Amino acid sequence: MELYELTISEAHRLLKNKNISSVELTRAVLDRIDAVEDKIDAYITVSRELAMQQAAKADALIDGGNMSPLTGIPLGIKDLMCTLNLATSCGSKILQDFVPPYDATVIRKLKEVGAVTVGKLNMDEFAMGSSTENSGIKVTRNPWDPSRIPGGSSGGSAAAVAADMCLGALGSDTGGSIRQPASHCGVVGLKPTYGRVSRFGLVAFASSLDQIGPLTKNVTDCAHMMNVIAGYDQSDSTSVPQDVPDYTAALDGDLQGVKIGIPQELSATAGLDPSVLSAINNAIEVLEGLGAERVPVTLPHTEYAVAVYYVIAPSEASSNLARYDGVKYGFRNPDHKNLMNMYRSTRSRGFGLEVQRRIIIGTYCLSAGYYDAYYGKASQVRTLIRQDFTKAFETCDVILCPVAPTAAFKIGDIVDDPLTMYLSDIFTLSANLAGIPGMSVPCGFSAEDLPVGLQIMGSHFNEEMLLKVAYGFEQATELYKKKPKI
């Protein structure tokens, strides 16, 4: 086995026993990036010099006996988390030369335990997209089939983990942007409860929906990353002061008596690929074989989730992205006649079409005379969606459904069809609207032999139960061991 193929847990054991050094491990990952980046296009920035410096520091920590499971581990970072003295573009031309003067809280936490940052990963511009085709920098490809999308918006993160271009990665999830690419690339992805992981230093898309989370090669690695990044942060006003458990303690494989909720609305979902549904049903049977108990649940208002999300998210984006006007930082169009012309031309040339589309939608929804009819009404329905989940979790421990209605589609197939693209997030949006945790774990393959993810959702701050169920399933199937040939 090559060093870059290791999981975080495997690499930790080798580092702890001094069988390898972080410098050796990091160099192997950087060499792997050099070998396959032209096929995958996962990275916007590869920070070679910084990574080797951090690896040397990690080796010194290990020599001193000061080690955590992430010490010396090469990780990739989605390019919308601020990194001190390392460019952060958000996949947009309007920020392509922006170098933050500070670290996001999650980056600071990774540095404190001696993790290594090998680079910043590609994404849909400002996290707006489901395929990474909306990046203003490049199009990332799926390691299982480079003619297909890796998912989005954390497509670079999922593709890099799947292709062994890092041992783990951070992504962000506003409407499915961790879980959906994790499903399409056959890796594990977790969106924590809103408020569980600090958003300080995360460049905002929709502030009431965004959440940072890990993408990893297996469930154990996901738990290790959560142990580091979770926790209260007074710099983030939406962070919740709640104790963080040891997530690895939940990985016992005992699913006896765990109640798994199956939404009655699942079978009626339009556009659901039969092979995806088959993989989900097979996964449910595996869990029942491990002692879990199937319970029917109903989520009657989730049929409105897509409409609600595409009012709330663009409205918040319209507000958040108003700061990109060419005045203080980022791109400024040099060809302008006056101040208003500079604003207009800078934003027209700096933002891509999808970002412009969502800003326009959001501005309209927030405009005088339409606020109550659109944003106000959407917020009311959002409350109903959250109440549906609260009621469902009175009878079950987790809710299971697909992550996406299909496996990864071909690059270019629906990029010009925004509505179809929006509907690809139909199963993931509800968790963000309700603020609950959700994760994707590989559960099988489509008719075209592409990865399919099982979505596991839980009640607020109950990431432990998600990890418990995911780990039990993973150990029973070992699907995570199947890797793309790239």
pLDDT at residue 420, as a whole number: 86
Token pair belonging to 258: 């765990």
List, in sequence order, the alpha helices (H) in 290-407. 305-320, 339-350, 353-366, 377-392
Report d(CA 322, CA 201) in Å as an integer: 17
pLDDT at residue 328, as a whole number: 86
DSSP-assigned beta bridge partners for residue 354: none
Instruction: Report, as residue numbers or ranges, the catalytic residues.
Output: 78, 153, 177
pLDDT at residue 214, as a whole number: 98
Residues 6+ apart with CB under 8 A from 76: 42, 43, 117, 118, 119, 120, 121, 156, 157, 160, 161, 165, 166, 168, 169, 170
pLDDT at residue 137, as a whole number: 97
pLDDT at residue 416, as a whole number: 87
pLDDT at residue 324, as a whole number: 95
pLDDT at residue 95, as a whole number: 96
Residue type, 453: G
Report d(CA 169, CA 122) in Å as an integer: 12
Q: What is the pTM of this model?
A: 0.97
Residues 6+ apart with CB under 8 A from 81: 88, 104, 106, 107, 170, 172, 201, 202, 203, 212
Instruction: Report mean pLDDT in 10-residue bins for the chain, 486 residues.
Output: 97 98 98 98 98 98 96 98 98 94 98 98 98 97 98 98 98 98 98 98 98 98 98 98 97 96 83 94 98 97 95 97 91 89 93 96 94 96 98 98 97 90 93 98 97 98 98 95 92
Residues 6+ apart with CB under 8 A from 295: 259, 260, 261, 262, 395, 396
DSSP state of 459: S
Report d(CA 62, CA 44) in Å as an integer: 30
Report d(CA 250, CA 222) in Å as an integer: 12
Report d(CA 320, CA 38) in Å as an integer: 33
Instruction: Output the CA torsion 285→286→292→294 (10° steps).
Output: -20
Report d(CA 137, CA 448) in Å as an integer: 29
CB 140 within 8 A of CB 185: no
Domains and CATH numbers, the chain: 3-250+473-481 (3.90.1300.10), 303-379 (no CATH)
Kind of pairing between the strands at 116-121 and 74-78: parallel
Report d(CA 71, CA 56) in Å as an integer: 11
DSSP string for residues in 88-114: --TT-GGGTT---SS--HHHHHHHHTT
| 3-state DSSP assignment of residue 419 | helix
Please classify residue 418 by burial: count the beta carbons closer than 10 Å to its beta carbon, then call 0-12 exposed, 13-18 middle and 19+ buried: middle
CB 473 within 8 A of CB 251: no
Asked if residue 345 has a cis previous peptide bond (ω within 30° of 0), the answer is no
DSSP state of 204: P
Give me the sheet containing 398-402, strands edge to edge: 43-46, 116-121, 74-78, 168-172, 212-216, 188-191, 438-445, 451-458, 398-402, 259-263, 293-297
